[in-house]
Amino acid sequence: MARAKRTIQRREAAREAARGQDRVVATNRKARHDYEILDTYECGIVLQGSEVKSLREGKAQIGDSYARVDDGELWLFQMHIPPWKTGVGFGAHDPDRKRKLLVHRKEITEMVGQTQAQPLTFIPLRVYFKDGKVKIELAIAKGKKLYDKRQDLAKRDAERDMARVLRGAERGG
């Protein structure tokens, strides 16, 4: 009996530790390469039950998704959440439907003000669980030109070469 109680306590401790961390479901790695990130916001998202269960399995794709303000509300387009494997028929969801993002009105007006001043776009960077709720890290971003991408690659290669030379000098000298 005491052994079973210890096992339950360990499981509860593991769950508490997992709740303290943000569990990332999906990331948009291509966004940092294609866009210059100016500002980020944490947004909630309106989902159906089968979508949350599918996200808990770690299935989502945000590579081509973007957000837009329509009628004073923020909407996420082209985020693909595949149907939950046991959710068929009634209760199943459309994998590519538009989803409403939950952001304060003040933040929405601030976002719209930034995008009207210059050509910017809303790009989701990652989808994660925080305290049991699904959150999206939304970035206000400006598209990079081809030469900007080339400069970033050259800079990264130069830094990598310098680090390699320093490691060699530490080992040899």
Digit-coded pLDDT (tens) for 149-160: 788 888 889 999
For residue range 105-150, list pLDDT tens digits in order: 999 888 888 888 788 889 999 999 988 888 999 999 888 787 777 8
pTM of the model: 0.71
Determine which of 78-87, 98-107, 118-127 has the lowest per-residue pLDDT on average: 78-87
Question: Please, what is the average pLDDT of the chain?
Answer: 82
Q: The CATH number of the domain where 43 resides is what?
A: 2.40.280.10
Pinpoint the alpha helices (H) of 81-144. 105-117
Distance CA 71, CA 7 (A): 52
Residue 137 lies in a domain: yes
**For position 45, what pLDDT does the model report?**
92
List b or e across 134-157, with b for residues whose CB sees 16 or more CB atoms inside 10 angstroms: bbbbbbbbeebeeeeeeeeeeeee
Phi and psi, residue 33, nearest 5°:
-80, -40
Place of tokens 């199943």: 92
Residue 11 lies in a domain: no
Domain span at residue 80? 22-144
Structural domains in the chain (count): 1
Residue 10 lies in a domain: no
